[in-house]
Amino acid sequence: MLIFFILAFCTSMVSSAATASSAAAICKSTPDPAYCKTLLPRTSNSSANIYDYGRFSVRKSISQARKFSSIINKYLARKSQLSTPAVRALEDCKYLADLNLDFLTSTFSTVSSTSRTLPSLKAEDVQTLLSAILTNQQTCFDGISSTTSAWRVRNGITQPISNDTKLYSVSLALFTRGWVPERKNKKHSTTRNVRQGAKMYETLTKRNLLQATGDDSDDGGEVLVREMVTVSQDGTGNFTTITDAVNAAPNNTQAGNGYFLIYVTAGVYEEYVVIAKNKRYLMMIGDGINQTVVTGNRSVVDGWTTFNSATFVVTAPGFVMVNMTIRNTAGAVKHQAVALRSGADLSAFYSCSFEAYQDTLYTHSLRQFYRDCDIYGTVDFIFGNAAVVLQNCNLYPRLPMSGQFNAITAQGRTDPNQNTGTSIQSCNIMAAPDLAASDGTTRTYLGRPWKEYSRTVYMQSYMDGSVDPTGWNKWNGDFALDTLCYAEFDNTGPGSDTAGRVAWPGYQVINATVAMNFTVSNFLLGDEWLPQTGVTYTTGLV
């Protein structure tokens, strides 16, 4: 009985229902049935079913998304009358609103073409988009709410954000019930299936990238590269800045056409890099951690939103980064200051380092994978609402400001139907040198619930003595303690003892059967897209 509860709660098991039903009956499967009943039409058509109502909800969502984008545009048209932080928060909202329109349009093209459950991969694609829409709404709301000088803006757009969020939640719930196939309980396999990365990543020092990408040996599959450019600060490459190289990349490349590869030679690049959504299937490779470094120092204290404080931003699908360091040097005193923000679907980061203090790695949305990476930080230093797996990574809690504690994760799931969460597998949690040399009074927690349905799993990882025996910390009072999903499985080290862990309803020590749901092959369907990246990964449990 306990195992069933964990599976149903943590993995959002669904069953499809195509039979005709009233709006009231269908709304019972949504997070807010009362609102849902006011939204869906009362039809005399006795044949109306989950698919009819689902399509109606998505159409209405598209209409509302357009209206919200118009509201934002009206405020931005008067931005000369607003403070800089308010304008930046609005610009974030405009960007996110445009993404939502893209995602909803793509969703409608799918739901309008079929009235049956979809194949698992296609269903996962659409559920991922609808999950990201809710994340984008929350990000806009958080940015506007935290801008104290933007009270006029807050009063004008927070209610539309709230109303639209409820609508999008209905669309996600109906899609999940109607189009997503029933999830099968995964069985634990003792076979360790490791997909080795292509040789290209081991031959970088020889600078024979183009030759290596075509190698189809037993050590790795073929990684297709259509074109390669070099960035070098001494002028010997094609470009001297990363931004210029990104701008030269083709737009909207398809997966089968091969990567546009940017090789960034050793050096410290003081620039803010943005991989826009149209720079699809771009691969960026450096000369190694602490050799190729991208650095910036934007922070919330200096007037940036958390969302746009990042040194490196990527939103284009299919992005791959290898052998680079991304830093935000604002320091602990500047509070939220992001190194990398990723909202890139099907993105992979291999042998990279992300360094900052509060909010280092912003795994914002969609599906992401990190392998053999180093992440340094203090407060909530891995946060966001992507479906993300970190595998064989080193997580280094640093020494925070006086009076602060460390929280490794702050996962931001806001809706029980979102297929998001943070899975940390075969990683090492070890105090950074400054924390290790301190007086030992700083408390380090595995995570805390940023949003109501926060979901984080640690499995098969090493935890040193810096991890507090209670494991997890509260966000604010009893917030989310009943609805979060925090789990641990088969961890080792002095900080892994679960005897003194929190006794929250949403926390569990899970078994291998449940843990399998959070592996690369199941949580990310990684076997479908990771091989083409050339990045090493383990499909299941170790």
| Interval 204-245: pLDDT, tens | 544 555 554 444 444 445 688 889 999 999 999 999 999 999
pLDDT of residue 215: 46
**Strand pairing partners for 368?**
347, 388
Query: Which of 270, 271, 293, 274 minimizes the C-alpha distance to 282?
Result: 274
Kindly report the CA angle at 411 between 378 and 343, in degrees rounded to 5? 95
* Residue 455 confidence class, pLDDT cut points 50, 70, 90: very high
Q: Which pLDDT does position 24 carry in this prediction? A: 86
The answer, yes or no, to whether residue 256 has pLDDT greater than 90, is no
126 phi and psi angles, rounded to 5 deg: -75, -40
Q: What's the angle, vertex CA 35, arms to CA 31 and CA 36, rounded to 5? A: 70
Give me the mean pLDDT over the 170-194 stretch: 76
Kindly report the average pLDDT of the chain as a whole number: 90
Give CA–CA dist 119/110, Å, rounded: 12
Reduce the DSSP state of residue 459 to 3 states and report it.
strand
Widest Cα–Cα separation across the chain: 72
Complete edge-to-edge strand list for the sheet that includes strand 379-384:
273-275, 312-314, 340-342, 361-363, 379-384, 406-411, 444-447
pLDDT of residue 374: 98
Of 147 and 95, more confident: 95
Residue 116 has pLDDT above 70, yes or no: yes
C-alpha 331: how far from chain center: 24
For 73, other C-beta atoms within 10 Å of its C-beta total 12
CA distance 369 to 348: 5
The domains of the chain, with CATH numbers, are: 23-179 (1.20.140.40), 203-208+223-538 (2.160.20.10)
pLDDT in tens, 506-539: 999 999 999 999 999 999 999 999 999 999 999 9
pLDDT at position 211: 52
Give the tokens for residue 142.
């958080």
Instruction: Work out the angle between the directed axes of helices 84-111 and 120-145 (0-180°, nearest 10).
Output: 160
pLDDT of residue 220: 47
In whole angstroms, give the CA distance from residue 212 to residue 210. Answer: 5
Q: How confident is the model at residue 147 (pLDDT cuts 50, 70, 90)?
A: confident
Q: Is the pLDDT of residue 149 over 70?
A: no
Residue with tokens 């006086």: 402
Task: Give pLDDT, residue 217.
Answer: 41
Question: What is residue 218's predicted lDDT score, i.e. its pLDDT?
Answer: 42
Query: Model confidence over 265-322: pLDDT tens digits?
Result: 999 999 999 999 999 999 999 999 999 999 999 999 999 999 999 999 999 999 999 9
435 band by pLDDT with thresholds 50, 70 and 90: very high
Q: Rounded mean pLDDT of 69-89?
A: 92
Q: Is the pLDDT of residue 190 over 50?
A: no
- Model confidence pLDDT, tens digit, residues 456-504: 999 999 999 999 999 999 999 999 999 999 999 999 999 999 999 999 9
DSSP-derived secondary structure letter, 302: T
Whether 351 and 369 have beta carbons less than 8 Å apart is answered as no
Residues designated catalytic: 380
How confident is the model at residue 19, as a pLDDT? 58
Residues ≥6 apart with Cβ < 8 Å to 171: 54, 57, 58, 61, 107, 130
Q: What kind and span of H or E run contains 342? A: strand 340-342
Q: Is the pLDDT of residue 375 over 80?
A: yes
> What are 319-372's pLDDT values in tens digits?
999 999 999 999 999 999 999 999 999 999 999 999 999 999 999 999 999 999
* Residue with more model confidence, 324 or 154: 324
- CA proximity to 204, closest of 238, 236, 240, 228: 228
Give the separation between CA 194 and CA 390, rounded to whole angstroms. 15
* Burial zone of 57 (CB within 10 Å; 0-12 exposed, 13-18 middle, 19+ buried): buried
